[in-house]
Amino acid sequence: MKLTQWGQLLFHSFGYHVERVGISQKFPIIKPMDKNGVEILADKEFRDSCKAVIHRTLLDTPRLANLWMLCRMTDAEGAMVEIGSYKGGGALHLSNCCPKRKIMVFDPFDRASFEHISPSMDNIFRKGQFSDSSEDDVARLLQGRNKFICRGYFPSSVRGTSLPTISFVHLDVDVYAATKDSLTYLLTEAKLAARTLIVLDDYNRGAAGVNTAVEEILCEIKGTLAFPLFPGQALIIPKSWYSSNVI
């Protein structure tokens, strides 16, 4: 029996499915998710957005839900940022979530996919792995939105550029160097609103470089907090969130 697009999305959300470098690993859910009363699953805007991005993102339903709910907790005046946008589905999802806010996309759109890969920490990734993306395709996907698309490896791609105040970041760059450099820039040089959250993908999901980068950031940038989110994200909370009487 062929599943509908929405059915496929929900189906994949109940199995922890990881696919990297052609190797597929499936870990069974011992106790399936209880969907009763989970309000976001009944939210028509959220459901419609999931349907719209299903073929443009590798994010499953729980991760899309985390982005949706957490983004709406941040400063509504700040820009939303996606670093590592691939085919633009995550950026479109954020724009659907908060359509009045600016969405900023940073991605190399490069056949190499990654600028630096550590053989020891990033061994589940390879050069060219996410090369089937296009800046023009992402621009068309976000047509009519309040958008800014920057091609290049972040943060070097924005050095010397004046960015607006940022209040939400989806960071999905997979490997150690890109994660560490991006977090360092965001937490020390970028103009962040007090009520800012960063959601990092591939945390506690076999990407050793991502976990290592977070551990180092927590030691180096005092006051930064990080919490794991199921299934495979981290919530990074800058010090400004709780040091500026943000409610």
Residue 105's CATH number: 3.40.50.150
pLDDT value at position 56?
A: 96
pLDDT value at position 190?
A: 94
Spatial distance between the Cα atoms of 177 and 175, rounded to a whole number of angstroms: 6
- Burial of 36 (C-beta count, 10 Å sphere; 0-12/13-18/19+): exposed
pLDDT value at position 247?
A: 55
Spatial distance between the Cα atoms of 128 and 112, rounded to a whole number of angstroms: 4
Q: Which of 205, 95, 88, 176 is nearest to 136 (CA)?
A: 88
pLDDT value at position 32?
A: 87
Counting the structural domains of the chain, the total is 1
pLDDT value at position 129?
A: 73
Which residues form the domain of 42? 5-243
Per-run averaged pLDDT (10 residues), the chain, 247 residues: 44 39 66 91 97 96 98 98 96 98 95 79 79 91 97 93 96 95 97 97 95 98 97 96 71
Q: Which residue has the tokens 């800014």?
A: 148
How much is the pTM? 0.88
Half-sphere exposure at residue 123, Cβ-oriented, CA atoms within 13 angstroms: 4
Spatial distance between the Cα atoms of 206 and 20, rounded to a whole number of angstroms: 10
